[in-house]
Amino acid sequence: MNTKIEFEEHEPKEFRLFHYTPKFEFLCDMLEKGLWPRYCEEDFEWLIGERVTLSFPMLCFCDIPLDAANTHRGRYGNYAIGFSKNWLNDLDINPVWYVQPGNSIAKNLGSNLRMEPRFSLEKLEGHPLRNALAFIKPTVAFQNDRTAGRDGTLEVFQADEEMEWRHTPSALSEKWFQFAERGMTNNDHHDLSINHRMKLEFDQIECVRVLRKEEAVKLEDRFAMLKGKILIWP
């Protein structure tokens, strides 16, 4: 007997990019002052072969279709700003390059980054791969579990499913940091990037997603230029 299996269909990618945030007040701050590229820590042991944690400022976006974004929302927040990919070059945003650990590409990249006696970010000055490190990520990654509060728990997840794009301020390319372990980034580091916000003009923003009707009303009252662009998640 032939059994027909029906799958829910989604568009493979959004024609817009979305930046998610967990709190309504964060969303309001982004709309008023711009998106703040906070310092984030990335583990490169998988690529370089020794324990190396680099911290650099970044803004993260994704083009996951909205009707398939529940998992992403659960990890990064239920508030989102969306804008067309037509602005990618103006905003200096690039997709992340996902690399499978252990394959020939990862081995080739790693061989070009290994140093004796050990890796040093300072020694990487002028290296053609230095700035690309902010856009290279393993297909399977570790990060602080955003559903577990601030207890330092790490989650393992299929990173390439996030369909991530990034922006990192070029003016701060010499203000990256190397640590021996995670959890070393502090407020002093974040303060370095506070004046490098990405300000989205209201005509660039195509939609804003919120959880509640009263939040949509507050946004329309505060940002009249967004009227008609503020949507509530179904």
| Tokens linked to 232 | 């509530």
Q: Any alpha helices (H) in the chain, and if so which ranges?
A: 24-33, 45-48, 70-76, 88-91, 104-111, 187-193, 213-222
CB 197 within 8 A of CB 37: yes
pLDDT in tens, the chain (234 residues): 445 445 445 577 889 999 999 999 999 999 999 999 999 999 999 999 999 999 999 999 999 999 999 999 999 999 999 999 999 999 999 999 999 999 999 999 999 999 999 999 999 999 999 999 999 999 998 766 555 555 556 677 899 999 999 999 999 999 999 999 889 999 999 999 999 999 999 999 999 999 999 999 999 999 999 999 999 999
Where are the chain's structural domains? 16-232
The two structure tokens encoding residue 158: 């299929």
pLDDT of residue 7: 40
Measuring CA to CA, which residue among 58, 43, 59 is closest to residue 179? Answer: 43
Contacts of 170 (CB under 8 A, 6+ apart): 92
Cα 23 to Cα 6, 19, 28, 146, distances in angstroms:
36, 12, 9, 13
Nearest partner of 76 among 59, 55, 56, 96, judged by Cα = 59
Q: What is the pLDDT of residue 221?
A: 97
DSSP designation for 110: H
**Bridge pairing between strands 205-210 and 94-95:** unpaired
How many residues are listed for the chain in this entry?
Answer: 234
Task: Give residue 231's pLDDT.
Answer: 97
CA dihedral of residues 129, 133, 139, 144 (deg, nearest 10): 160
d(CA 98, CA 158): 10
Whole-Å CA distances, 220 to 74, 103, 154, 230: 25, 50, 38, 8
Cα separation, 64 vs 100, in Å, equals 21
